Amino acid sequence: MRAAVYCRKSTSESDATQQEDKSVVVQKNDCLSYINNKNWNISLQHIYIDDAISGGEFANRPAYRDLLRSLSEFDIVVCTENSRLGRQFLESSEWLKEFAYNNVKVAYVRDNHIIDPRDNYDQLITSFENFASAEYRHKCKINTRAKMKSRFIQGQHCGGRVYGYFAVHIGKNGQRIKFIKGQNYIPSEERSHVELEINDTEASVIKNIFLMFSHDYSQTKIAKVLNRNDQALLDKYFDGVSPPPPRGGKLGWSPSTVRSILLNERYIGKAVWGRYRNEDRHGQVRVRVKQSDSNEIIEYQNESLRIIDQATWKAVQKRFMSASKQYLRANNGTLLSRPHHKRQARYLLSGVLRCPQCSNNFVATRAGSNKKHVYMCATHNKRGKSICGHNVQVPQKLADQSIVNEIKQLIRNSEHRNYLIKETRRQFLQEQKNSPDKIVIMKKELASLEKQQHHLVNAITDAGPLESIISRLKQVEQKIDQLQFTLSDIEKSSVTNIETLNSLTEFSKQCADDITELLTKHTTRANQALKKLLPNGLNVERDKNDQICFTGQGDMSGIYVLGGVFPQMASPRGFEPLLSP
């Protein structure tokens, strides 16, 4: 029998007295011994390990995803216990379903038990085990949050590093050590709690940032000064020394970092806990959401941790308020002056042009004495030449027209157009051919969920209306409703897609004829299409003759986004399509 091994350990399960990787090593050795005793075969490429990853995480668990993609290559998965595969009830149904479809069994080493996901009884037992694992994690989250809340009320520090302060470890014997990563610290088993203490060096930087902002310097200008792009101001405000940014790294200070410092209430001695909380959503853990229950938000004032005096703080906040009043708002405070800021692009090549040095996007801005619109590297523009020295400025109209003309010539080529029509029809028919398979898979998933729903209803009947079981039942029912809606939508679309296929050739011709007008008059839709047409963007640089040139590879499927009919057509690599012989 062909076997695979899966091991996982979350950070919360690590033992401070053990080595960091000992837990997964023990799991792997136990599983390999079990396989050896059973005389099964195993290849090293089928040992999957997720170290320091929560059991609630499913979307971003690399080895787990590799395991699911390779199910056809083995017959049984060996792990120490059920919770290693996951600790979320709804998401755990994914591996149970995939294992069943691929006829792969699961062996638990510690229980010396093998389950068959296709067997109804094993499905029932596994569902209850998944529920128990998820319930354990849920209780751990509640207990941890309650403990953190209690510590905060006592004035202890409960978060990570805060710029401007030392994290001081307080030992159970009263010892105080200023934490320095990898150097000075007190092990968790010997530590009582953590307190904050002002870091005079960083506090001086914070005070001077507030001072510059109160002197009417912008956040961008302050970031550039901190990055050594104005030595005169650096000498005036920071004694000629460029301090390292809060998070380190090579990109230096950014305007957003400066803004976060200017708005941080911690610097006036005000501590807030519970303003945000983490939730599990779509297989991801620690999705940060705003706390809706105001009773869970706690604040207190500690003057010993104040860095900024009240007068300076008020002056800075007043400037922020005066700037925000320049935008038109409704009576309820909703922003009206830029309603489409996050949905519409004002410039054709925003997010399309790239810097070859720092790989950041080019942005549209005004430059020169005449303040004409140009595209330039966002890092160079916002953080200064000391962080990115690529100072190429491309006139906006020149860049837009050059790209439009190039695409115009490409689309009007009859061979390219015919190839696109042929490839689109092929991909379209392939999608229709695969649709029945998708429907079958979704119906199987729906049947599995309905079975889980039945088991949960029986559990309520036997054990009484436990709040946790009712909550899980509601989640299963919600997922069933979503799946039924999606199935209905797919079955309806299969009819209308035939009409779309018949009109595809005519649409392709029309799209090619209208491409120039769309690119020049419909900036938002054209920008979206260009991002699909050029998924890796265009590098902007100067050639040997000091002429501006654009280089990159594209995907011709982006052109069809302009018409909104077939946005997911696959096409060959390269800026121009490869023509069939």
Rounded CA separation 561/581 (Å): 27
Residue 459 maps to a domain: yes
The count of residues in the chain is 581
pLDDT for residue 316: 93
Phi, psi values for residue 314, rounded to 5°? -65, -40
Same domain, yes or no, for 421 and 510?
yes
Same domain, yes or no, for 131 and 180?
no
Same domain, yes or no, for 62 and 174?
no
Same domain, yes or no, for 65 and 176?
no
Same domain, yes or no, for 508 and 431?
yes
For residue range 9-68, list pLDDT tens digits in order: 987 544 444 444 458 999 999 999 999 999 999 998 999 999 989 888 998 899 999 999
- Considering 85, 120, 148, which residue would you say is the last residue of a domain? 148
Local confidence band at 580 (pLDDT 50, 70, 90 cut-offs): very low
CATH value at residue 58: 3.40.50.1390
Residue 405 maps to a domain: no
Highest averaged pLDDT of the listed ranges 125-139, 168-182, 412-426: 125-139
Same domain, yes or no, for 62 and 179?
no
3-class state of residue 268 by DSSP: helix
- The separation between CA 523 and the C-alpha centre of its own chain, rounded to angstroms, equals 27
Same domain, yes or no, for 181 and 89?
no
Evaluate if residue 110 carries a pLDDT over 70: yes
Q: Residue 149 is encoded by which pair of tokens?
A: 């809340």
Least confident span in 28-42, 114-128, 276-290: 276-290
Local confidence band at 515 (pLDDT 50, 70, 90 cut-offs): low
Residue 316 maps to a domain: no
Mean pLDDT, to the nearest integer, of 117-124?
92
Same domain, yes or no, for 85 and 132?
yes
Residue 19 maps to a domain: yes
Same domain, yes or no, for 56 and 144?
yes
Alpha helices in 503-573 (DSSP H): 504-521, 523-533
The CA–CA distances, whole Å, from 259 to 244, 288, 316 equal 16, 20, 11
Q: Which domain holds residue 87?
A: 2-148
Least confident span in 102-106, 108-112, 237-241, 284-288: 284-288
Evaluate if residue 477 carries a pLDDT over 60: yes
Same domain, yes or no, for 169 and 95?
no
Local confidence band at 249 (pLDDT 50, 70, 90 cut-offs): confident
Same domain, yes or no, for 50 and 169?
no
The candidate with the shortest Cα–Cα distance to 374, out of 404, 350, 390, is 350
pLDDT for residue 178: 86
The candidate with the shortest Cα–Cα distance to 74, out of 52, 107, 97, is 107
Total number of domains in the chain:
3
Same domain, yes or no, for 192 and 53?
no
